[in-house]
Amino acid sequence: MGAPEPPGHATSLSGELLYWVTFDAPQYDCDGAGPYRKAQIWGRYLRAEEEPEA
């Protein structure tokens, strides 16, 4: 959806990036707002998906 970009926020870590992600199913935030189909997420909150065992 786009290249990662620096957050430009005072609490960002050195070298941290923001990534656009598209959700498999619409998501709601902690306040119940949504549904969101895509979002810009800080790199510190992302993790690689584990491959299912065969």
Mean pLDDT, the chain cut into blocks of 10 residues (54 residues total): 87 92 94 95 89 81
pLDDT of residue 50: 85
**Does any domain span residue 25?**
yes
Q: Among residues 19, 26, 22, which one has the least CA distance to residue 2?
A: 19
Q: How many domains does the chain have?
A: 1
Domain range enclosing 38: 1-7+15-46
| Amino acid 20: pLDDT | 92
In a domain, 52, yes or no: no
State the pLDDT at residue 48. 85
What is the phi-psi region of residue 7: left when phi exceeds 0, alpha when psi lies from -120 to 50, beta otherwise?
alpha
What's the pTM value of the predicted model, to 2 decimals? 0.69
Which pLDDT does position 26 carry in this prediction?
96
Asked if residue 37 belongs to a domain, the reply is yes
Residue 32 placed within a domain: yes
Q: How far apart are CA 17 and CA 43, in angstroms?
A: 5
